[in-house]
Amino acid sequence: MNLLRQTSDDDDGPTYRIHSAPMRDIPDRLRPREQFEYLGAENVPDATLIALILRTGLRGMNVADLAERILRQYTTLTALAQASVDELRGIAGIGRVKAQMLKASLELARRLSLEAIPEDHKIAAPEDVLMVLRERARLAESEVFWVLLLDTKHRLKRPPLEITKGTLNASLAHPREVFKEAIRSSSASIVLAHNHPSGDPTPSAEDVRITRQLVEAGKIVDIHVLDHIILGRKRGDERLDYVSLRETGMVAFQS
Q: Residues 87, 100: contact at Cβ < 8 Å? A: no
Q: What is the CA radius of gyration of the chain?
A: 23
What local confidence, expressed as pLDDT, does residue 1 receive?
31
Beta pairing, strands 6-10 & 144-150: unpaired
Cα–Cα distance for residue pair 156/160, rounded to 1 Å = 8
Domain covering 6-113 in this structure, CATH number: 1.10.150.20
- The pTM of the full predicted model, rounded to 2 decimals, is 0.64
Q: Which of 30-34, 53-57, 158-162 has the lowest mean pLDDT?
A: 30-34
CATH 3.30.420.40 given to domain 119-248:
no
Which residues, at least 6 apart from 247, have a Cβ–Cβ distance to it below 8 Å?
126
- Contacts of 74-80 with CB under 8 Å at 24 or more apart are 77/46, 77/106, 78/138, 78/139, 78/233, 80/106
Domain ranges of the chain: 6-113, 119-248
Cα–Cα distance for residue pair 182/46, rounded to 1 Å = 42
Cα–Cα distance for residue pair 233/243, rounded to 1 Å = 11
Provide the residue type at 99 as one letter. Answer: A
User: 120 vs 229, which has greater pLDDT?
Assistant: 229
Q: 3-class SS at 86? A: helix
What local confidence, expressed as pLDDT, does residue 201 receive?
94
Q: Do domains 6-113 and 119-248 have the same CATH topology?
A: no
Residues 81-104 have pLDDT tens digits of 878 999 999 998 899 999 999 999
Residues 171-193 have pLDDT tens digits of 668 899 999 999 999 999 999 99
